Amino acid sequence: MEFCPKCKSMMFPMEGSLKCKKCGYVKEKETNPELLSRSNREEREVTVLEGDIDEGLPTTTARCPECDNNIAYWWLRQLRSADESETRFFKCTKCSFTWREYD
């Protein structure tokens, strides 16, 4: 796993390179990447991604509260302490409305 040198977000594999979904930074894949370990954690603001980055996200059946479409992209984020469940985010595939669900 690699992190963006500009914004420190996780990099995702894209056709022979790694791309940051937050700031758009692109890095060519290395043949022998170095391993990096970090033990301290910082709380950060959640950024909702917009544009065609969503194409790589999984979809599920979820009713959009805005347009009643029944398919949405979804992702999880740990927003609260580690002993509490993750927050599930949805983004409508039709109107791009984003909402969250707590367990």
| Residues recognised as catalytic | 83-84
Task: List Cα–Cα distances, 49 to 22, 74, 80, 81, 91, in angstroms.
Answer: 7, 11, 20, 23, 10
* Distance of alpha carbon 76 from alpha carbon 74, whole angstroms: 7
Where in the chain does DSSP place strands (E)?
Answer: 11-14, 17-20, 26-28, 59-61, 71-77, 87-92, 98-102
The answer to whether the CB of 89 falls within 8 A of the CB of 99 is yes
